[in-house]
């Protein structure tokens, strides 16, 4: 997966981080912080490899 523009986002209701907005293979997606989610798993992998970083939420 080619992942760019990764950035945390917060809950609509609560002021807590609930996911990552990212462009994955050219498509903007909202990725939950769930290790069973294949996109989140890949984001963590690429962060560990130093390929990407995740920007803080607004």
Partner 1 sequence: MSTLKSSAEDLTLNADGSGNDIIFQSNGSNVATLDQAGLLTATTFAGSAASLTAIPAANITGTLPAIDGSSLTGIAGRRNMIINGDMRVSQRGTSWAAIANATYTLDHWELYNNGIGAYTVTQDSTGPTGFANSFKIDCTTADASPTGSDYLLLYQRFEGQDLQLLKKGTASAESVTLSFWVKSNKTGNGQVNLQDMDNTRMIGNTYTISSADTWEQKTITFAGDTTGAFNDDNGESLKIEWWFDSGSSYASGSTPTSWEAAASTDRNAGGTLALADSTSNYINITGVQLEVGTAATDFEYRSYGEELALCQRYFETSFDGGVSVNNSSAAGTIVAGGTNSGAITGYVGLACVQYVVSKRAVPTITVYDADSPRNTGKCSRHKLGTARGDNQAVVTGDSGTRSFSAYSSGTHTATGLIFHFAADAEL
**Closer to partner 1 by Cβ: residue 10 or 51:** 10
Cα–Cα distance, 18 to 57 (Å, whole number): 10
* Residue of 4, 18, 9, 2 lying closest to 56 (CA atoms): 9
Residues in the chain: 58
Q: Which of 3, 6, 10, 54 binds partner 1 (CB under 8 A)?
A: 10
**Structure tokens given for 40:** 């989140």
Q: Which residues within the stretch 13-52 sit at the binding site for partner 1 (CB under 8 A)?
A: 13-14, 18-19, 21, 23-25, 27-32, 34, 36-40
Q: Which residues bind partner 1 (CB under 8 A)?
A: 1, 9-14, 18-19, 21, 23-25, 27-32, 34, 36-40
């Amino acid at each position: 997966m080619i992942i760019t523009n990764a950035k945390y986002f917060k809950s609509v209701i609560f002021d807590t981080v609930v996911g990552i907005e990212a462009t994955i293979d050219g498509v903007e997606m909202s990725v939950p912080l769930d290790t069973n989610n294949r996109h989140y798993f890949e984001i963590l992998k690429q962060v560990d490899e130093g390929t990407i970083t995740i920007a803080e939420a607004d």
